[in-house]
């Protein structure tokens, strides 16, 4: 049995779909990953073969002020899951982020590139990666710019704003790979089926700025919205962001035989499947 922690979240829902009958989901009502006793109780009761941690505190700006909560959920919680899975002989899958990098490399990041997070969120996700090592049988999957059904994300934010305005300003100096949660779930499944361990990058192929991403969302949705450029500095968010954090996913292709579809195709499929609102 594969246990999905955070099964009601954006990625968790897709993991539950992809793994089907093999999966069982738990969420905040069932398990508190920041409480070792809660983690041990659930893992010792269910005794899963694999635990996928899709639970996280993902509000990047919120993490900047709620430092303790960020470190507890994204860092300490992973330590408890790692210790618990090791105790029952299960594999731990930890989902991580491009925000562990500073974006100054100037080329797509490889799995073994030096981590240098700019924000508390990035620091907390890096702590989670390090804590996953408490279980030698672990798989760390880094992704970026995630969107999907049933969660707050950039695509839904843009579509909501488009219903209120006909002109928007979106940053054009941050570049990455928008990634559909469903495709990420498929990558996790492929890695597990191949028995992979260690660290992997998984994102939809190709890269774009947030500004370019917004324009493609509106184009595919048939909306006539003017998208103006602006800088990250002009936006003035509390947490610093990496400017170029595209992930090199060639190791995923090599070891699991998976190359995720171009981000434009993934976005198109997502919008086609999106329920009417």
Tokens of 211: 């500004």
CB 91 within 8 A of CB 138: yes
CB 223 within 8 A of CB 163: no
Torsion sign, CA atoms 246, 18, 57, 38: negative
Q: Which residues pair with 200 in a beta bridge?
A: 141
Closest by Cα among 147, 100, 146, 145 to 124 = 100
200 classed as catalytic: no
CB 230 within 8 A of CB 171: yes
CA angle, corner 214, sides to 210 and 216, nearest 5?
Answer: 115
Catalytic residue among 109, 121, 200, 244: 121
Query: So which residues are the catalytic ones?
Result: 121
């Amino acid at each position: 049995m594969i246990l999905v922690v955070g099964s009601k979240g954006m990625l968790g829902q897709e993991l539950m779909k992809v793994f089907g009958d093999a999966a069982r989901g738990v969420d905040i009502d069932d398990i508190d990953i920041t409480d070792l006793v809660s983690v041990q109780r659930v893992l010792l009761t269910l005794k899963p073969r694999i635990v996928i941690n899709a639970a996280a505190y993902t509000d990047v700006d919120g993490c900047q002020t709620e430092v303790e909560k960020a470190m507890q959920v994204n860092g300490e919680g992973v330590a408890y899951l790692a210790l618990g899975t090791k105790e029952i002989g299960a594999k731990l899958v930890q989902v991580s982020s491009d925000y562990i990098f500073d974006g100054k490399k100037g080329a797509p990041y490889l799995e073994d590139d030096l981590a240098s997070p700019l924000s508390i969120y990035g620091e907390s996700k890096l702590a989670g990666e390090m804590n996953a090592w408490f279980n030698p049988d672990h798989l760390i999957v880094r992704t970026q710019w995630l969107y999907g059904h049933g969660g707050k994300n950039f695509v839904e934010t843009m579509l909501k704003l488009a219903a209120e305005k006909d002109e928007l300003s979106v940053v054009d100096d941050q570049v990455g790979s928008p990634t559909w949660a469903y495709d990420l779930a498929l990558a996790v499944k492929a890695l597990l089926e191949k028995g992979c361990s260690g660290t992997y990058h998984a994102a939809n192929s190709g890269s774009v700025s947030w500004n370019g991403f917004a324009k493609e969302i509106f184009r595919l949705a048939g909306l006539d919205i003017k998208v103006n450029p602006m800088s990250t500095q002009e936006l003035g968010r509390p947490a610093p962001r990496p400017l170029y954090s595209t992930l090199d996913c060639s190791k995923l292709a090599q070891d699991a035989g998976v190359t995720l579809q171009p981000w434009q195709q993934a976005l198109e499929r997502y919008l086609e499947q999106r329920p009417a609102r």
